[in-house]
Structure 1
Amino acid sequence: MGLIYAVLFAGLYITVSEGCIDGWVQHNDMCYFLSHDKATWYEALAVCSSVFGTLAEPSSADLQNFLVSQIPKNSSFPHQHFKYWIGISDVFKETHWMFISTQQLVSKTFWYPGEPNNNIATGLDNTDEDCVLFNWDGKGSWNDFSCTSRYLFICQKEDADVNVIG
């Protein structure tokens, strides 16, 4: 009888469920969500934060390749060129690309050739490109772009949810 109480007692206080909620995909210890709606980079960051996450931060070739593999599954048009906001910016200091959640400098990069260019090629004024788009070009190459433009986005968050019940 004492064993039954111990099990019930433990079960009443905390449950840990691993895995991702519906609509999210798991990779290693993180869950990822590819949006179906467009937003500015700032709006996308707010949406991800509202679910206790952040914009995706591809810090390794493994994660980069995983995200590339997910994009066609998100669309009815797998061969169309899709762009997604990710959690990298140089908004704090020009040319210092940082992960937004940690403000650590990005060491492994996947820039498209000629990027980042801060829109220098156009010669336009006031067109700072301080946020990073993940381009589905088969490689997920990065492109710096104006943070106020509207694109799809990718959120990330830890995969384990801990719920206190009692």
Structure 2
Amino acid sequence: MISVLFTVILLSVIESACADCPRGFEMNAETCYYFSHGEETWIGAYESCKLFGAMLVEVNSADEDAYLINKTSSSGDSWWMGLSDKLIEGEYVWETSMTVLGASGYSNWSPGEPNNHKNENCVKYAHSHNYLWQDTECDQEEHYICEKTGDISPIVG
């Protein structure tokens, strides 16, 4: 009887947690993530996330980074994130929050990155670099990750 009650409570908690994310998103640590099925340029990915009421993912901690790498690394694809140095070369900024990636902020660059080879201004999880961060040309088409907080109510209208 106790195990049945425990199972019912556990399923209720899981259902409640999943209900906080829009369809197609999944929750991790009170944030909802969308992993695209198709590919877009960096700006296309940024605009697609906005259409979902979300933003291109901003990676703020080692825990979040580990979760995202775990989710994407089995795909064999590279994935856009919301980091770029499009305005000032060498100054990487999270596009939605406009937070500058400084010495005290979290980062997980692949060795030798960022290198701005061939005017690379956008950042992705690079399949060829074991899903560490790599700057690359913004007009490449890649998969992308959107994020939004789990308690945002749906848009009506």
The TM-score with structure 1 as length reference comes to 0.74
Are residues 1:151 and 2:152 paired? no
Q: Which residue of 2 aligns with 1:54?
A: 55
CA distance, structure 2, for counterparts of residue 33 and residue 160 of structure 1: 15
The one-character-per-residue Cα deviations of 1:23-63 (angstroms, maximum 9, x if unpaired) are 21111221001111010000000000111111011110010
Are residues 1:105 and 2:100 paired? yes
Percent identity reads 27
Q: Which residue of 2 aligns with 1:13?
A: none
Amino acid at match of 2:124: L
Report the 3-state secondary structure (helix = DSSP H, G, I; strand = E; otherwise coil) of the residue aligned with 1:70: helix
Structure 2 unmatched ranges of 5 or more: 1-17
Amino acid at match of 1:88: L
CA distance, structure 2, for counterparts of residue 97 and residue 26 of structure 1: 27
Is contact 2:93-2:99 (8 Å) kept?
Answer: yes
CA distance, structure 1, for counterparts of residue 63 and residue 24 of structure 2: 21
Structure 1 unmatched ranges of 5 or more: 1-16, 73-77, 120-126
Q: Which residue of 1 aligns with 2:125?
A: 134
Higher relative contact order (CA 8 A, sep 6+): 1
> RMSD of the TM alignment (CA)?
2.2
The one-character-per-residue Cα deviations of 1:3-39 (angstroms, maximum 9, x if unpaired) are xxxxxxxxxxxxxx95212321111221001111010
- Matches for 1:13-162 after TM superposition, within 5 Å: 19-72=20-73, 78=74, 81-106=76-101, 107-119=105-117, 127-136=118-127, 140-162=131-153
CA distance, structure 1, for counterparts of residue 64 and residue 54 of structure 2: 16
CA distance, structure 1, for counterparts of residue 24 and residue 70 of structure 2: 16
CA separation of 1:137 and 1:26: change in aligned 2, threshold 3 A: farther
Larger Rg over CA atoms? 1
Is contact 2:110-2:129 (8 Å) kept?
Answer: no
